[in-house]
Structure 1
Amino acid sequence: MSVTAREESTPSVAATLRSGSLGTADIAFFVISAAAPLTVMAGVAPLAVLLGGIGAPAGYLIAGITLAVFAVGFTTMSRHIRSGGAFYAYITRGLGRPVGIGAALLALIGYNGMEIGVYGLLGSAGRDTAKALFGVDVPWLPIALAGLLLIGYGGYRSIEFGAKVLGVLLVAETGILVLLAGGVLVKGGAHGLSGASFAPGHVLVSGTAVVLAFAFAAFTGFESTVIYRREARDPERTVPRATYVAVAFLGLFYAFCVWIVIQAFGNDEVIAAAAKDPGGLFFSAITSYVGGWAADLMHVFIVTSIIASLLAFHNAINRYALALAEEGVLAKSLGTVHPRHRSPYTAGIAQTVLGLVVVVGFWAAGADPYNQLLLWVNTPGMIGLFALQLLAAIAVPCYFRKVRHDEGTLRTVVAPTVAAVLLATAIGLVITHIDLFTGASSTVNTLLIVIAPAVFVAGLGLAWWLRRERPAVYAEFAAEPAE
């Protein structure tokens, strides 16, 4: 403790992220919170049921298994790479600096897109909650701006503070879903409990492709465990454990909750109920099986679920920006760490300002907070993160071919190769069904699809420029930190 205090009070010593701060549970809280389980279930799962039928729960299990296979090679590589750059560091080691720099820009756009768009969801959900609980109409912009300030403050504080906040919020949002599950299980559902959702006849249908597209999107951000490596306790063990915990929890919990809501209405009635009011499916179920007070709580916890997701993504973005500033790719000022909180606070301020510009810009244009700010900004971010996962899966066997190691072939070749094929399939499913995510015109959808590859190509151009104009920065990009 005395050493930490002396370091913080000595101006000549630059502050760094606080190592040894996060355990497995802390990192898992960040990752699971980023996925926003309650928001995904109440807001998106009804569409999966409507379009994919009662076999929808199996789609979430399939997505979870796919990402668990990806995690095998991903976490194996995490034992060999200590960089704070996560995705781009892994990709650089396996596929070379140009691809790695392209991945770095793609990561910035991907994570920023996933976070900033969600301020539209916060404004929309906050407005709906105020209307449902108090009967008042509140403009969405003040809610979104309040969220920006709150998230900015959370990122400014220490990582331990963020972990504690996310722990509380995650317990609340999962707790309300467990409460719904308890009510349905105790009462035996609408017509008794059924396992038909997992029967091949209901899983192997054309609508399952749509379910898988939604399901893969529901896991977005799970791989950010490695971003916290520098702050983790015993990262060689903590990071892989947190990754597997996050994937297992999300896959099983999603499948269970979707199955529960199907039981609440019955196999024959749930699709009609979802078609009539998809946004109210979970609220109707919890009102019937638990009570109106629980539906009111669900409204509140959806808002806190969104806040938790925003804070988790904000912390991940800040650490990516910090790593790139330390690499010399971004402005050096973004690499400043707060001397007391040990947070990358200048990167956090910059990210908050960027969010403010985008949110206010959409508001000034008269855009809808959900249909446009959320969906149009989130979608290219989601595609970008899927592309990063694919590149990382391809990078694993390439990396282990270059270095001496004692890892098994299953971990270094088989699992990442299988994951790459499955992830490429997932990307194809999302792009093929992008209209279901955006509800936009074909022109808008085409634009949203090309953003991620365009950013990656721009990154390749940046790599060419750095190699020519700043060779020292290029040569040291994603290098291992000194012991």
Structure 2
Amino acid sequence: MSVSTSELPEEKVPSGSAGLRSGSLGTADIAFFVVSAAAPLTVMAGVAPLAIVLGGIGAPVGYLLAGVTLAVFAVGFTTMTRHVTSGGAFYAYITQGLGRPVGIGAALLALIGYNGMEIGVYGLLATTARDTLHSLVGTDVPWLPISLAGLVLIGYGGYRSIDFGAKVLGVLLVAETGILVLLAGGVLVKGGAHGLSLASLAPSHVLVPGMAAVLAFAFAAFTGFESTVIYRREARDPARTVPRATYVAVGFLGLFYAFVVWIAVQAFGDDQVVRAAGKDPAGLFFTAITTYAGGWAADLMHVFIVTSVIASLLAFHNAINRYALALAEEGVLPHRLGRIHPRHRSPYLAGIAQTVLGALVVLAFWAAHADPYQQLLLWVNTPGMIGLLLLQLLAALAVPCYFRRVRHTEGRVRTLVAPLLAAALLTTAIVLVVTHIDLFTGASPAVNTLLVVVAPAVFVLGLPLAWWLRRSRPDVYARFATEPTD
């Protein structure tokens, strides 16, 4: 259990006694972490064109439906935040509802999920930065130095205080959303290609076979939104701040994604956008912003895609460090990983360990002559995405189980109806992602099978680990995810 030292000046906190900087983050700060992890500009420019190709002009509705599903999940999820205060977030909730063996499996799943979502993105950073340099100055740079530089930069950001990270993410998020707002303003002012249309909302354009694939992409675009609870120990008035930040993040992402995809449809016209997206998916948004704002705006979009990726990396890095901190305090991971920097109040040893792990994975893919996008990004990201979706499903199931066993004054809608509905919807989302896995990876059936089974296999490995802890370290097992660490 960490010792809070928020009342001491930062520079006078004695070594070894520092705790995380409590009371540092407000609703907006936590929302910045969550929305930045989703990387909205990268998702829109990089993935939304493919959603339009597959789902047609009804694609914006897919993002709305995903947002509604996760808002339903947030009802039970945020209700539980008022009752479970452990720093372990997802795995603590799952432990309280479904038991320690399942919770320990969930802890491993969280580690593989968040690490997969972050480390793979170093391949995306290399690709986007290399493409931006080539587009702006005509320079070709090897991808490895870019990824390694990113590791150092993100490692430093995680080493610094959490409020430093919140300020950085705030600036970067404003930049990436701002360029999309600029595009939207140009399209709205000029009335689109052939006048503004709401045909995207028509049932005939929504209820099409390709919508299943759009929903798979849409759910993936929200990955990491639930990490609000990871920052509970550093939040101001966490019982209010964390739920608010969760709803703000889900609401913003759902509405913003749907609006921007609709703007892309209007930019080319209902009858031309699918053809334009199929012809040049990677360039769809750059063509649109060049048409409606000018070439200078397209150059800015190139730069802001890189900063969008950096923001996502930093947000996931901070989330991973706090999961590792909680597990170290629990005694599941080495205790040294739970050390907190006496000045910055960051879990700096967990951050260093995560940076080293990222470097090893990046170097392994480089040594294997792998492509930074097709292999490093997609092959590492995909198990992480599936892992986080499974965590959401387990957390949804844990809510009614928990409230069935404890005395409370919460309503049945929050503790039973919404969680069970969310579990059904999340199960559908997982099925959609798995059955359309080839769209995410572009890999062979054998590789896709391996990528799909990684997350469930890691979860199953947690069960014998729980058995071993119960026999060999009963004190660790007994207090796992049961003691508040605030």
Class of the TM-score when normalised by the shorter of the 2 chains: over 0.9
Partner of 1:288: 291
**Which of 8, 30, 39 lines up with 1:4 in the alignment?**
8
Separation in structure 2 between the aligned mates of residue 198 and residue 92 of structure 1, nearest angstrom: 41
Q: Assess if the C-alpha contact under 8 Å between 1:8 and 1:15 holds in 2.
A: no
1:18 maps to 2:49: no
Separation in structure 1 between the aligned mates of residue 318 and residue 387 of structure 2, nearest angstrom: 18
Shift of 1:470: 0.5
Partner of 1:114: 117
Runs of 4+ aligned structure 1 residues displaced above 4 Å come to none
Match for 2:332: what amino acid?
V
Partner of 2:84: 81
The number of residue pairs the alignment matches comes to 482
**Which of 244, 268, 273 lines up with 1:270 in the alignment?**
273
Match for 1:436: what amino acid?
L
Shift of 1:7: 8.9
1:83-232 correspondence to structure 2 within 5 Å: 83-232=86-235
1:252 maps to 2:252: no
Separation in structure 2 between the aligned mates of residue 471 and residue 451 of structure 1, nearest angstrom: 28
Structure 1: gaps of 5 or more residues: none
Shift of 1:205: 0.9
Match for 2:55: what amino acid?
G
1:235 maps to 2:238: yes
Partner of 1:368: 371
Separation in structure 1 between the aligned mates of residue 475 and residue 383 of structure 2, nearest angstrom: 32
Q: Deviations for 1:220-274, whole angstroms, at most 9, x for unmatched residues?
A: 0000000000000000000000000000000000000000000000001001101
Shift of 1:14: 1.6
Q: Deviations for 1:1-22, whole angstroms, at most 9, x for unmatched residues?
A: 99413894434x5211010000
What TM-score comes out, normalization by structure 2 length?
Answer: 0.98
Separation in structure 2 between the aligned mates of residue 9 and residue 94 of structure 1, nearest angstrom: 37
What TM-score comes out, normalization by structure 1 length?
Answer: 0.99
Distance 1:206 1:230, change over 3 A: same
Separation in structure 1 between the aligned mates of residue 315 and residue 399 of structure 2, nearest angstrom: 26
Q: Assess if the C-alpha contact under 8 Å between 2:62 and 2:211 holds in 1.
A: yes
Report SS of the residue matched to 2:390.
helix
Report SS of the residue matched to 1:413.
helix
Distance 1:43 1:247, change over 3 A: same
RMSD of aligned C-alpha atoms? 1.1
Q: Assess if the C-alpha contact under 8 Å between 2:28 and 2:245 holds in 1.
A: yes
1:29 maps to 2:20: no
Match for 1:313: what amino acid?
F
Separation in structure 1 between the aligned mates of residue 169 and residue 485 of structure 2, nearest angstrom: 32
Separation in structure 1 between the aligned mates of residue 432 and residue 485 of structure 2, nearest angstrom: 42
Q: Deviations for 1:349-394, whole angstroms, at most 9, x for unmatched residues?
A: 0000000000011011000000000000000000000000000000
Shift of 1:191: 0.3
Shift of 1:480: 2.4
Q: Assess if the C-alpha contact under 8 Å between 2:60 and 2:259 holds in 1.
A: yes
Separation in structure 2 between the aligned mates of residue 315 and residue 482 of structure 1, nearest angstrom: 18
1:328 maps to 2:331: yes
Q: Assess if the C-alpha contact under 8 Å between 1:118 and 1:378 holds in 2.
A: yes
Q: Assess if the C-alpha contact under 8 Å between 2:86 and 2:485 holds in 1.
A: no
Q: Assess if the C-alpha contact under 8 Å between 2:10 and 2:343 holds in 1.
A: no
Of 218-227 and 196-205, more deviation after overlay is shown by 196-205
Separation in structure 2 between the aligned mates of residue 75 and residue 21 of structure 1, nearest angstrom: 20
Structure 2: gaps of 5 or more residues: none
Shift of 1:465: 0.5
Match for 1:175: what amino acid?
G
Partner of 1:388: 391
Partner of 1:445: 448
Shift of 1:479: 1.3
**Which of 58, 62, 65 lines up with 2:65 in the alignment?**
62
1:36-47 correspondence to structure 2 within 5 Å: 36-47=39-50
Partner of 1:470: 473
Shift of 1:482: 6.5
Separation in structure 1 between the aligned mates of residue 268 and residue 52 of structure 2, nearest angstrom: 12
Separation in structure 1 between the aligned mates of residue 459 and residue 93 of structure 2, nearest angstrom: 16
1:352 maps to 2:355: yes
Q: Assess if the C-alpha contact under 8 Å between 1:81 and 1:480 holds in 2.
A: no
Q: Assess if the C-alpha contact under 8 Å between 1:30 and 1:166 holds in 2.
A: yes
Separation in structure 1 between the aligned mates of residue 329 and residue 262 of structure 2, nearest angstrom: 46
Q: Assess if the C-alpha contact under 8 Å between 1:118 and 1:306 holds in 2.
A: yes
Separation in structure 2 between the aligned mates of residue 202 and residue 139 of structure 1, nearest angstrom: 43
Q: Assess if the C-alpha contact under 8 Å between 2:226 and 2:246 holds in 1.
A: yes
Report SS of the residue matched to 2:374.
helix
Identical aligned residues as a percent = 81
Match for 1:10: what amino acid?
P
Shift of 1:461: 1.1
Separation in structure 1 between the aligned mates of residue 31 and residue 337 of structure 2, nearest angstrom: 26
Report SS of the residue matched to 1:341.
coil
Distance 1:162 1:7, change over 3 A: closer
Q: Assess if the C-alpha contact under 8 Å between 1:7 and 1:15 holds in 2.
A: no
Separation in structure 2 between the aligned mates of residue 348 and residue 461 of structure 1, nearest angstrom: 27
Report SS of the residue matched to 2:9.
helix
Separation in structure 1 between the aligned mates of residue 307 and residue 137 of structure 2, nearest angstrom: 17
Match for 2:225: what amino acid?
F
Separation in structure 2 between the aligned mates of residue 6 and residue 96 of structure 1, nearest angstrom: 39
